[in-house]
Amino acid sequence: MRQAGRSLPEYKAVRGPGSINQAIADPDRATEITLQPVRRYGVDAAILFSDIVTPVHAIGFGIDIKPGVGPVAEKPITSSDDLSRLRPLDPEADVPYVLETVRNLVVELDVPLIGFAGAPFTVASYLIEGGPSKNKGKTKSMMLDNPHLFQQIMDRLADQAITSLTAQVEAGASAVQLFDSWAGCLSPQMYERHVMPSSQKIFEAVGKLNVPRIHFGVNTGELLTRMRDAGADVMGVDWLVPLDVARERLGPDAILQGNLDPVVCLAKWPSVAEAVREVLARNGGHHGHIFNLGHGVLPELNPEILKQVVDLVHGEGSAHLTDA
Amino acid sequence: MRQAGRSLPEYKAVRGPGSINQAIADPDRATEITLQPVRRYGVDAAILFSDIVTPVHAIGFGIDIKPGVGPVAEKPITSSDDLSRLRPLDPEADVPYVLETVRNLVVELDVPLIGFAGAPFTVASYLIEGGPSKNKGKTKSMMLDNPHLFQQIMDRLADQAITSLTAQVEAGASAVQLFDSWAGCLSPQMYERHVMPSSQKIFEAVGKLNVPRIHFGVNTGELLTRMRDAGADVMGVDWLVPLDVARERLGPDAILQGNLDPVVCLAKWPSVAEAVREVLARNGGHHGHIFNLGHGVLPELNPEILKQVVDLVHGEGSAHLTDA
């Protein structure tokens, strides 16, 4: 469960008042933060505590993660002159702390560790907009009006993602997830033409590592087949697409991750339990299912509810599999 | 094109510095603002200048539209005690200015006038959250934890929408559109159980008026069949669902409205023209197509681009129909 930590009191205690980048750059803290939700919830995998803009930050592009805002780039990319700030990532030199965190974690953990990277489109949107953007107007305009520059950005970010994911797996991560969080703002045609090739390049390259490749973005119901065809072994599904509908689109053997509405977890337990059972019912006992939320955990979530979700899934999920 | 006015200099000149409610309550100004995009763009229909929260505002619920924010309710609904503020709408007494605007417009216009209402879920979300909300956490929680209270709100809002739409048609509107702008944040199951019945009630009641009934919300790819089955004659489609995909889901005879990405209209003309042609190609010359944007017009849009869009559609659209 992505961002499962941020609603936890023990997270707030260790996280410190500084930028999230400081916590990511401190392997002891990053290790502890990664372990916290595994310890509290007893989930079946851990996801590395890091950020999708960590590599771009580390190479000195000039991006910071502002609390309550998100990634902010003081000098967004407007022309090819800005490309020089997007040099290749050298993991051992640029993000040694990430690799140390991964190495610590594989010693500490009894469950698999999922490494991750931001997909080129989603990372590019921050670099082009200069920060979080509701409409992604500058990104879409550059994509259509200046496809050459846009593709150069995408290509550099794809190479960074490949280098980063490879280093994480070599350090011990058991699976990789590519987060194309905002790809869902694109029509399928725009995704296919301008975004899919870069993600395809990443999945092809990390395919050599022989670890499961997970792909996820929110609002991607219309993109599911293309995102899978980019080379994902597992498709993350948001809460808008019932799992049986996702399998109608992706085929009956599709391996899916999802898809409880994280907002529903703000309701009372009987309502949440019903929604959990609905997800399991829509999966229908299929073995290719990783139960998860359909998006990140909300900071205001009550951790007790999430604990009950995990316990219910561990109970009912097994029942479903036994029934199947 | 919804909110086509707000990017126009002539709109800014007439609109005045006050609340949008003041402009809506002034039939001369509201008439002029409705006419402006028709005059400038030569579109084939006009959409009334009003707001989805105008009826709730008019009955004294206590909601205002704050510039740059949106509808804000000082005292959101938290218990059944708040229901007394949601009394039935008496159009002639509560919103006489809306009806006067409609009557003015049908005299002035050479094209049909589309009246509209906010769908109960979308309006309820403002009344329960107290304002615009990214996650609609309070709304979803009330829907699941206190379905009785939630349904009472929905029912009162459905009755208001029926009364409002009926009065608009009786005053001369030629079609009605129900905006369930935020329904797309709901899983299909939640939509079907908690939202669809109220919208169904509205469409059934306005069916007696014998005018086309249009239904629209953004991010509703997974809800299209249910929103149509609620009783819509025309389904508005956002830019994420290509029109041919929408017809796969809705059947080959479906009448669709949409679906150019409004953000793409911020790009340069050759890019916009290509996107317009793509929409027309996806429609494939089908007669059941109302060309539109896939969401509201962005305030920062260059009106010259929108003029070119309309001209291109009038040229190519006719060519498509002639070819068909």
ipTM of the complex: 0.94
Q: Is residue B104 part of a domain?
A: yes
Q: Is residue B1 part of a domain?
A: no
Low-confidence ranges of chain B (pLDDT < 50): 321-324
Joined together, the tokens standing for residue B187 give 């899983």
Q: Give mean pLDDT, residues A224-238.
A: 98
Q: How far is CA A158 from CA A87, A199, B27, in A?
A: 12, 7, 55
For B272, phi and psi rounded to 5 degrees? -65, -45
CA B115/CA B102 separation, integer angstroms: 8
**By the CB < 8 Å criterion, does A192 face chain B?**
no
**By the CB < 8 Å criterion, does A318 face chain B?**
no
**By the CB < 8 Å criterion, does B187 face chain A?**
yes
Instruction: Look at residues B177, B187, B270 and name the one whose alpha carbon lies nearest to residue B226.
Output: B187
User: Which of B227, B244, B263 would you mutate first to test chain A, the one with the most A CBs within 10 A?
Assistant: B263
Q: Is residue B257 part of a domain?
A: no
pTM of the model: 0.95
Query: What CATH number does residue B224 fall under?
Result: 3.20.20.210
Based on the residue annotation, tell me whether A29 is a catalytic residue of this protein.
Answer: no
Interface touch A263/B135, C-beta < 8 Å: yes
Instruction: Using the predicted structure, report yes or no on whether residue A240 has a pLDDT greater than 50.
Output: yes
Q: With contact defined as beta carbons under 8 Å apart, do B102 and B115 qualify?
A: yes
Based on the residue annotation, tell me whether A213 is a catalytic residue of this protein.
Answer: no
Instruction: Using the predicted structure, report yes or no on whether residue A226 has a pLDDT greater than 60.
Output: yes
pLDDT in tens, A253-280: 999 999 999 999 999 999 999 999 999 9
Q: Is residue B244 part of a domain?
A: no
Q: Is residue A199 part of a domain?
A: yes
Comparing A318 with B143, the larger pLDDT belongs to: B143
Q: Give mean pLDDT, residues A2-6.
A: 76
SS (H, E, C) B226-272: HHHHCCCCEEECCCCCCHHHHHHHHCCCCEEEEEECCCHHHCCHHHH
Instruction: Using the predicted structure, report yes or no on whether residue A137 has a pLDDT greater than 80.
Output: yes
Stretch (H or E) spanning B83? none
Q: Is residue A183 part of a domain?
A: yes
Instruction: Using the predicted structure, report yes or no on whether residue A323 has a pLDDT greater than 50.
Output: no
Cβ partners under 8 Å of residue A42, min gap 6: A310, A311, A314
**By the CB < 8 Å criterion, does A281 face chain B?**
no
Query: 3-class SS at A241?
Result: coil
Q: Is residue A265 part of a domain?
A: no
DSSP letter (8 states) at residue B95 = -
Total structural domains within chain B:
1
User: Which of B69, B125, B148, B189 would you mutate first to test chain A, the one with the most A CBs within 10 A?
Assistant: B189
Domain that holds residue A37: 9-236
Q: Is residue B316 part of a domain?
A: no
Q: With contact defined as beta carbons under 8 Å apart, do A68 and A130 qualify?
A: no
